[in-house]
Amino acid sequence: MSTEALKKPLPFPVAGSPPKQRPTLDAEQQKKYDWLLEQVKGWAEIPSTHGKAGPLTDSEKFWLTKECLLRYLRATKWNQQDAEKRLLKTLTWRREYGVEDLTADHISPENETGKQILLGYDKEGRPCHYLNPGRQNTEASPRQVQHLVFMVERVIDIMPPGQETLALLINFKQSKSRSNTSPGIGLAREVLDILQHHYPERLGKALIINMPWVVTAFFKLITPFIDPHTREKLKFNEDMSQYVPTEQMWSEFSSGKLAFEYDHSQYWPALQELCKERREARWQKWVAGGKQIGESEDYLAGATAAGVGSATEKPAAAPVATPAVEAKTAEVTTLEAVPAVPAN
């Protein structure tokens, strides 16, 4: 009996794929975090050379979570002054680039062939972000970079409690219509600059397959622009089932067994609805917690009952470990992640 392939994103990881526990801050790290938090709370204005200077908005305060500040501290090797400078630069960039103004309708033409797909989670609960250069359907333009930024923001929307990194899966399988699908050096450097400076500590793994010689040469060219810590996360032509459960790995990628067919008319609105639902739930939690700068992402994701502004704040529970979440995860795995089950 023939069955339909999955055509929508998967909302949860498989059971037993919890993120690694975050390390506890030592006394010196806690002191540096406290200093940075007080500096951020005291910011009177976000600088801009494009006429967009002004006080912090609620959405920017919402973005400035405890874990966000810690990501910048780790990225600067715990130099709190450098972390503050980088945070300010990112907030300026987000305003001037218009990150929050990028809409699904504007980005939609870039994704009509499924050249970027958010599908499934790896063995540590990281959302899997597939890049399929062979499905390229547009010429180089600013919107191509906006497309990546938009999709990274959507990856962040669907991260489960306790997870703050993503798994990037790149398949350089050649297209029948385009022989050279690697981006130009200028475009690649712009993307790398954005990811390294404005999304620090977000890459968990980068799994790359089907590298033709031209792409291998391309990676050699851009390697000097990739920091050593990031290079350690790159895995080339390995058995990717080491990192991603085969039942949630697209069958077009490595040893994946998930039958998935990209249908833009179904996938794109389903992805936007899922992300909107998760984002709005976090926003409501943030408002209920008193709109705190430095709010806990675990609280926003529903893993803890109280936020940083509560006197009864409790330590974060182990992600994806409560019976309710395990049951829901198992249910989704059974109903949606098995290839034999229809997508709708």
pTM of the model: 0.85
Q: What is the tens place of the pLDDT at every residue in 231-259?
A: 778 888 888 999 999 999 999 988 999 99
pLDDT value of residue 1: 42
- Share of residues in the chain with pLDDT > 70 (%): 83
pLDDT one-digit tens code per residue, 6-47: 999 999 999 999 999 999 999 999 999 999 999 999 999 999
- What does the alpha-carbon distance between residue 52 and residue 20 come to, in Å, rounded to a whole number? 38
Whether the pLDDT of residue 149 is over 90: the answer is yes
Q: Which of 58-72, 172-186, 200-214 has the lowest mean pLDDT?
A: 172-186
In the numeric block, which tokens belong to residue 158?
């669907």
Q: Measured between alpha carbons, how far apart are the two ends of the chain, in Å?
A: 17
Q: Is the pLDDT of residue 66 over 70?
A: yes
Q: How far is CA 248 from the centre of its chain?
A: 17
Query: Which pLDDT band holds residue 342 (cuts at 50, 70, 90)?
Result: very low
Cβ distance 238 to 230 under 8 Å? Answer: no
Task: Summarize pLDDT for 254-303 with one digit per residue, the tens.
Answer: 899 999 999 999 999 999 999 999 999 999 999 999 999 999 999 999 99
Q: Among candidates 1, 9, 2, which has minimal Cα distance to 343?
A: 9
